[in-house]
A = this chain, B = another copy of it.
Amino acid sequence: MPLVRIHLPEAISPPFSTVISDVVHQALVDSFNVPPDDRFQVITRHAEGDIVCAEEFLGIRHSARVVFVQIVCAPGRTVDMKQALYARIVGQVAARTSISACDVIINLVESSRENWSFGNGLAQMAPSAIDR
């Protein structure tokens, strides 16, 4: 169910953008119990200057290689699950790419289960669809 948007500077090309895509998905599987085949992501690459970020916020410094990840997902995950998700995404990005843990910004937007159609024009996750 999540719809993931990854905003990257153009300077971050594959294989790093592929790693970020994989890492975000695996963290959703591990921390949010998302099914492994429930993967819907959009990567948008931006010219220099089109990702705008303060040099420092909350004591964390940001470089020109900052990455924004926005995840629209179903509501109901606990704060602990969300903290686990953030830690997993950022830990893996920092371990597997040259992107700093400081440069991964994540935002969740929650949208209820009836607000999704996964093909064929059906609301597969709507309460009425699940009851059937």
Instruction: List the interface of chain A (C-beta within 8 A of B).
Output: 3, 7, 14, 18, 21, 25, 35-46, 49-58, 60, 62, 68, 70, 72, 79, 82-83, 86-91, 101-112, 114-124, 126-128
A72-B70, A109-B72 known; A120-B46 Cβ under 8 A: no
Question: Contact at A52–B60, with CB atoms within 8 Å?
Answer: no
Give chain B residues whose Cβ lies under 8 Å from the Cβ of A52: 21, 25, 39-43
Question: Contact at B107–A119, with CB atoms within 8 Å?
Answer: no
Question: Contact at B102–A109, with CB atoms within 8 Å?
Answer: no
Bound Cα distance from A117 to B57, whole angstroms: 11
* A-B contacts, 17 listed (Cβ < 8 Å): A7-B42, A18-B49, A25-B52, A37-B57, A38-B54, A40-B54, A41-B53, A42-B50, A60-B120, A82-B126, A86-B117, A101-B120, A101-B121, A105-B118, A106-B117, A107-B111, A109-B111
